[in-house]
Chains A and B, each alone.
Chain A
Amino acid sequence: MIRPIAPQRILSVDLTRGETRVEVVPEEDVIKYLGGRGIAAKLLFQRVPGGSDPLGPDNALIIGTGTLTGTGAPSSGRTSMLCKSPLTGLYLKVSVGGHLGAELRYAGWDYLVITGKSPQPVYLSIADDRVEIKPASHLWGQGTRQADARLKQELGDPTLQTAVIGPAGENGVLFSAILCSRFNGASRGGIGAVMGSKKLKAITVQGHGGLRVSEGEPFYRLADAMRHELAKDSGTESLYNWGTSGSIPGLNEMGMLAARNFSQVTLEGADQLSGQHMLDDGYLIGRESCFSCSTACHRFVRSLDHRWGEVLDSGPELETVLALGSECGIVDTESALVANQLCNELGMDTISAGHAISWAMESFEREVISSLDTDGLELRFGNAAAVHEALRRIAYREGKLGDLLAQGTRRAADRVGQGSHRWAIQAKGLEQSAVDTRMAKGYALAFAVNPRGPDHLMTETFAEFGLSKEAREVIRTITGDEKYADPHLTEKRAEIVRWHEDVYGASEALGFCVFTSTAAFAVNPRNMAQLMSHALGTPFDEEQLMLGGRRMVTIERCFNAREGARRADDRLPWRMMNERVPAGPNQGMITDQAMLDGLLNQYYEMHGWDPATGIPRAETLETLGLLELCGDVAG
């Protein structure tokens, strides 16, 4: 069946009762919330009661496809996955690439809302309108790749799309991931544990329909022009050539490389972890695009000497080689590939896993924990074999160490005590991604207010570095002057962060990869709005688009407020706020509490949120048309 972009369809699945239900999202809601992450945020707010146990039946796993996903809009294959996070107890949105979202739309579904808890392991089979909950006991315990292969074999369709958890998700590891069609991770915040708590091993999707945009000729002409603009951007070229880990040499030279649990900002030999090295030395064996993407930043790699084991895998991404490499004091390419493959197969977030281990390494070296606590593992910086073994133990919650780290760094530090929270690189319970927020003030603010915890995957203010004319133009558009394209400044950071929040949210709601709008800059609010207008066949402008982004940020804020989050939760890891950059060109820099308070005051005021609590005011909700939805939590 070929169907229009809107109205959109929700498939609700209650795993306790084994029932499914179909609902419709009217076009006016698609315009108001933009789709994807926006509609999913609204559904999460409505359907997960405040105070719900994240691993209980009341939590919902919501999958929202982008409104333009499945069309030929460039790099528009992203899918949002939402739930209440078991790691943070707060809102969680994860974005994943690949082809799952497009396949789901071709099957006739735009959103999945999965609640309840099955008594036995099951998987959800979606083949167009045929939806079945099938037994999965024979898959329980299998790694993500093994289960994916088995499902394709069983269903006789090697091209079907899957979303699968591994042993980590089954065992309730609080940073477990969902692997989509083997190679695309929906990884942060423990979304895999939520799927595991429902005894849902996998989702399979087979779609044979299509989508029709309303004004095809202008839509595809504009999409083509955007694709050409994107191809000209130097950011796009580097992503194709080297992937995300192409940034490592630059980070190391600029003294911004996260190393040894953020105690260092450079690391000798870190270039061994770079995409350039993997290309030159023959580790890279292929590249692949997500749906409708011409950038092809996704990597396929192999091991060469197999000294830590044989690897044939996707990735690794920049954050992975930093978290499991430099943060653990390791600059060994082969080790990074093995660690990445272990996380993918076991189904774990590489960022959180790496930082949990690097926290334990520092604790071990400070003699806060000993080999008695690690079941004999010599958990010292640079010990690659120990990292690989720790990953395996975490996934199976094996022994004291595996069980301790499986709960994430915040809980581990709480349990160990002895001041170890000072080197736990987390806030709100989420392990921070490897960006040094001491020297980049926009990043610092964005990380502190991020509803899921401190990372770059809800709002990325890369433009504040001003390293290209396109980036400086973005800063000029936001602030009126490109002199603010300087990450060391605190002025105008609230404006820069809020603009990026809106764009990031809108991009994800439409299904765009944010690399196209906040790393490269060819996709922007103006052309996104134009595409939306052509897709729906109705006038739709940039202001509506940005307002849609603002609405989802506000709903996310209200979700957390209902869970008890307040201004004091908008913070950065202790080390980022209390220890200055130790060396290099940014030596001495810090974003301390006083500086963060100043940034937060500007930011809350700009949003219309109560500066004392960080909760949106009733008049703000009314202006955004959210009073009915979120009014009960207004500040």
Chain B
Amino acid sequence: MDRTAAIQVIVRTFGLRGRDSGLTRMPTGFCAGTTVRDLLAQLRAGARPGDRLASVQSDTLLVLINGRPIQYLSGWETVLRDGDEITCMLKTAGG
């Protein structure tokens, strides 16, 4: 895999930056081979003080790639592909 090649993805976070209901969209460039785990580390590094993103535990996050939970893919080791849309939010339950 050519890790110098760039891929563009869209990252959306919900309830992790500032207000609970704010949906933040950001086009982001990464190297080929970047995994969901790498992505989360980079997002955490860029978090502002007070953002939930800075302190939240990974296993409380719901991460979707193109609407599919990473649990149905390769989990945290899922490799991002060019054009992917990634959504990160806190898990919820009950109905």
Contacts and interface: CB of A to CB of B under 8 A. Distances in A.
Q: Do A and B come from one complex?
A: yes
B69 A465 contact: yes
Interface stretch (B1-9, B13-21, B29-37, B39-47): B13-21
Contact of A276 (B20, B60, B87): B20
B91 A234 contact: yes
B76 to A, nearest CB: 12
A586 B69 CA distance: 12
Given A254-B69, A468-B59, A249 B15 contact: yes
Interface string A300-322: 00000000000000000111000
A12 interface: no
A466 B91 contact: no
A318 B64 contact: no
21 contacts: A236-B93, A238-B94, A241-B20, A242-B92, A244-B95, A249-B15, A249-B21, A250-B89, A253-B14, A253-B87, A253-B89, A276-B20, A280-B20, A297-B94, A318-B95, A472-B71, A485-B71, A519-B93, A519-B95, A584-B67, A585-B67
A456 interface: yes
Interface residues of B, number: 26
Contacts of A467: 62, 69, 71, 91
Contacts of B64: 250, 253-254
B90 to A, nearest CB: 6
Given A253-B64, A254-B64, A238 B91 contact: yes
A279 interface: yes
Contacts of A339: none
Nearest to A466: B71
Contact of A249 (B14, B66, B67, B93): B14
A255 interface: yes
Residue with the greatest number of chain A CB neighbours at <10 A, chosen from B14, B19, B20, B94: B94
Given A279-B21, A280-B20, A238 B93 contact: yes
A234 B90 CA distance: 8
B92 A433 contact: no
Interface in B56-86: 59-60, 62, 64, 66-69, 71-72
A239 B94 contact: yes
A243 B64 CA distance: 22
Mostly helix, strand, loop or mixed at chain A's interface?
Answer: helix
Contacts of B10: none
Given A277-B21, A515-B94, A585-B67, A234 B89 contact: no
Contacts, number: 104
A123 B91 CA distance: 44
B23 interface: yes
Contact of B92 (A250, A255, A488, A586): A250
A540 interface: no
A433 B95 contact: yes
A242 B20 contact: yes
A234 B20 contact: no
Interface string A236-265: 111101111011011001110000000000
B93 A254 contact: no
A244 B93 CA distance: 7
Contact of B93 (A247, A279, A469, A488): A247
A299 to B, nearest CB: 12
Contacts of B94: 235, 238-239, 243-244, 247, 297, 318, 515, 519
Contacts of A462: 93
Contacts of A235: 91-94
Across the A-B interface, the 4 shortest Cβ-Cβ residue pairs: A235-B93, A585-B67, A276-B21, A519-B93
A346 B62 CA distance: 38
Contacts of B20: 241-242, 276-277, 279-280
Interface of A: 234-239, 241-244, 246-247, 249-250, 253-255, 271, 274, 276-277, 279-281, 297, 317-319, 433, 435, 456, 460, 462, 465-469, 472, 485-486, 488, 515, 519-520, 584-586
B81 to A, nearest CB: 15
A465 B69 CA distance: 9
B15 A276 contact: yes
A268 B66 CA distance: 16
B15 A469 contact: no
Contacts of B62: 250, 467
A468 B20 CA distance: 21
Contacts of A515: 93-94
A238 B67 contact: no
Contacts of B60: 234, 237
Contacts of A242: 20, 92
Contacts of B19: 280
B71 A247 contact: no
Nearest to A584: B67
B7 to A, nearest CB: 20
A244 B14 CA distance: 16
Given A276-B15, A519-B95, 15 more contacts: A234-B91, A239-B94, A247-B92, A249-B21, A250-B64, A253-B12, A271-B21, A271-B23, A279-B21, A469-B59, A485-B71, A486-B72, A519-B94, A585-B66, A585-B67
Contacts of A433: 95
B60 to A, nearest CB: 4
A515 B92 CA distance: 12
A334 to B, nearest CB: 16
A278 to B, nearest CB: 8
Nearest to A241: B20
Contacts of A485: 71
A617 to B, nearest CB: 34
Contacts of A486: 72
A458 B22 CA distance: 34
Contacts of B89: 249-250, 253
B50 to A, nearest CB: 14
A21 B88 CA distance: 58
A200 B36 CA distance: 58
A468 B57 CA distance: 12
B53 to A, nearest CB: 15
Chain A CB within 10 Å, residue with most, of B23, B69, B87: B69
B23 A255 contact: no
Nearest to A586: B67
B95 A319 contact: yes
Given A249-B15, A253-B87, A271-B23, A234 B67 contact: no
